[in-house]
Chain A
Amino acid sequence: MKINFLMKKRLYFLAIFLVLVVISIGSMSMTQFSIAKCFASIPKAIQWGFGNFYPAGDSFARLPEILLKLQETLLISIAAASVAAIFALFFALMGSRITKVNNFLATLSRFIANVFRNIDVSIWALVLLFSFGQSSLTGYFALFVASFGFLTRAFMETIDEVGSDTAEALRATGANYFSIVFQAIIPMSVSQLISWVLFMIETNIRAATLVGILTGSGIGFLFDLYYKKMDYHASSLVVLSLVVSILLIEQISNYVRRAML
């Protein structure tokens, strides 16, 4: 009986594995993607990278321009994440099974959060392009909407996880809804909520580059511009400055996380 059970489980995983192999081989042959060719081109790519893709002499003259756009991108990422966090907190409170006001609002806010979350930020950028055109506002809204969806979901799970016991205790004292939220739910979850916002800011800065290419704004736009002008030295400087600022932001948010504990 037991052996049979384990055997069945193994066969099941084997079947899944085989299906995955068939799908990969099938799609590779359909798109004429060759692994051998792929690996063969790696040395050449590295060679090209070292030959062209590094900041050199005159590209440093562009540094002020780059830093200005970098600053814009960073601020937009932070603003999108923090404004989204305010809306997300409200929807998370409505949607959490502990703090929901009624079932209708709970289902509605869960539905909205799911829709917003399951659409990638690049899709939002493309959709919003139609209504706002190529501007940094479009980039901001795309990041905002994506952040909102993700944060609502993350906040909801945090509240569900940490809040239920204390919320029960305060409900038992006769405390009203607002007392429970502000005296128990928020103090219990605040450090995790801030941690999620910091994570969202980091994610937004990474995504902002791609969004910038699509919406013609921020640092992504600058990269695109230099790249198309075949000014590889300048575009490598853009990448470098991005990497440095992402590492910096990560350090800062790790510091904040530690300080909060």
Chain B
Amino acid sequence: MKTLLQFKNVSKHYDKKTVALSDVSFSVNEGELVSIIGPSGAGKSTLLRCINRLIDATSGEIIFEDKDVLQIKNKSKMRALRTKIGMIFQNYNLVERLSVFENVLHGRLGYKSALVGALGFYSEEEKQQAIKILQSLGLDEQIYKRCDQLSGGQKQRVGIARALIQEPRVLLADEPIASLDPSSSKVIMDQLKKICSTLGITVLVNLHQLDVALNYSDRVIGISKGRVVYDGDPASLTDDHIQQIYGSDREALNLVVREPKEVAQKI
């Protein structure tokens, strides 16, 4: 399998005291669904945002498609990089006052010039594509609704549609189900799995819920205090590893379950 993304000794310091990532190294193959787990404040969000340069890493190399993204200085090259990387968020980050349709089409803005983008002109193919993606996500009825009328699960699907219309090679998901109820969570995770297996898009997902991570991912990366402490099969994750990732954080440990598959089926 081909390597799509590789972190080499990446560190991020926000200031002298806050070290969000320290010496992080791992690689992700094409078409993999990788979960990044860890307690809050471990550096998960920072890690994802370093990939599309929403945050600039302090040192190291992040190789995406055989190029180091940290070396990109040119603005249009940066935008070209970002069009290849879709992203979805815990709070959906939609323009709530606009329609579902417009929000999805925002995913095409990366390909447009300043004027065309600012005026929001889209081609006929782009509009057809938006409708097709929305249908595949079960949002046919909602296309012309305003986003503030949707439920959380529907909003997150709009977020996924906005990312998919970019035609990305990799999808970054930052705690995509943290604000959702269990049944919507399952819909979203099933969609991510489907995107990965049928469209061949590589998915990196930050998760709080260990059981979900174990059930859905091809590989788990556990981080604690900015360091990678586990990188491997979900099946080989032992209690010791879990202890290492979550430390003595009681609340997080309560989330840990002995039979992950069984519990995950309930959600």
List residues of A whose CB falls within 8 A of some B CB. 165-166, 168-184, 187-188, 190-191
Q: Are A175 and B85 in contact (CB under 8 A)?
A: no
Q: Are B54 and A173 in contact (CB under 8 A)?
A: no
Q: Are A176 and B117 in contact (CB under 8 A)?
A: yes
Additional A-B contact list (7), CB under 8 Å, known A169-B89, A173-B82, A176-B109? A173-B86, A174-B109, A175-B106, A175-B110, A176-B113, A181-B118, A183-B109
Name the B residues within 8 Å of A181 (CB-CB): 118
Jot down 5 A-B pairs with beta carbons below 8 A, ordered by A: A172-B85, A174-B166, A176-B117, A179-B109, A183-B95
Contact of A182 among B94, B119, B159 (CB under 8 A): B119
Question: Could you tell me the distance between the alpha carbons of A177 and B117 in the complex, rounded to whole angstroms?
Answer: 9
Kindly state whether residue B181 has any CB partner on chain A within 8 Å. Answer: no
Name the B residues within 8 Å of A174 (CB-CB): 78-83, 109-111, 166
With A170-B106, A171-B54, A183-B106: A177-B114 Cβ-Cβ less than 8 Å: yes
Kindly state whether residue B87 has any CB partner on chain A within 8 Å. Answer: yes
Q: Are A178 and B114 in contact (CB under 8 A)?
A: yes
Contact of B97 among A168, A182, A191 (CB under 8 A): A191
Shortest distance from the beta carbon of B85 to any chain A beta carbon, whole Å: 7
Shortest distance from the beta carbon of B182 to any chain A beta carbon, whole Å: 24
Q: Are B106 and A178 in contact (CB under 8 A)?
A: no
Question: Could you tell me the distance between the alpha carbons of A190 and B95 in the complex, rounded to whole angstroms?
Answer: 12
Name the B residues within 8 Å of A188 (CB-CB): 95-97
Name the A residues within 8 Å of B118 (CB-CB): 178-179, 181-183
Chain B, residues 57-96, CB within 8 Å of chain A (1/0): the string is 0000000000000000000001111110111010101111
**Residues of chain B at interface, number, CB under 8 A:** 38
Name the A residues within 8 Å of B199 (CB-CB): none
Contact of B166 among A173, A184, A187 (CB under 8 A): A173
Name the A residues within 8 Å of B89 (CB-CB): 165, 168-169
> Which chain B residue shows the least CB distance to A177?
B114
Name the A residues within 8 Å of B81 (CB-CB): 174
Name the A residues within 8 Å of B102 (CB-CB): 183
Interface residues of B in 158-179 (CB under 8 A from A): 159, 162-163, 166
Name the A residues within 8 Å of B106 (CB-CB): 169-170, 173, 175, 183-184
Contact of B52 among A165, A170, A172, A179 (CB under 8 A): A172
Name the B residues within 8 Å of A169 (CB-CB): 87, 89, 93-94, 106, 159, 162
Shortest distance from the beta carbon of A183 to any chain B beta carbon, whole Å: 6
Name the A residues within 8 Å of B115 (CB-CB): 178
Q: Are A168 and B119 in contact (CB under 8 A)?
A: no
Q: Are B117 and A178 in contact (CB under 8 A)?
A: yes
Kindly state whether residue B237 has any CB partner on chain A within 8 Å. Answer: no
Q: Are B114 and A176 in contact (CB under 8 A)?
A: yes
Question: Could you tell me the distance between the alpha carbons of A187 and B105 in the complex, rounded to whole angstroms?
Answer: 15
Name the A residues within 8 Å of B31 (CB-CB): none
Q: Are B91 and A173 in contact (CB under 8 A)?
A: no
Kindly state whether residue B112 has any CB partner on chain A within 8 Å. Answer: yes
Q: Are B54 and A172 in contact (CB under 8 A)?
A: yes
Question: Could you tell me the distance between the alpha carbons of A178 and B118 in the complex, rounded to whole angstroms?
Answer: 5
Name the A residues within 8 Å of B108 (CB-CB): 173
Contact of B82 among A172, A177, A178, A190 (CB under 8 A): A172
Name the B residues within 8 Å of A180 (CB-CB): 109
Greatest chain B CB density within 10 A among A165, A171, A174, A191 is at A174
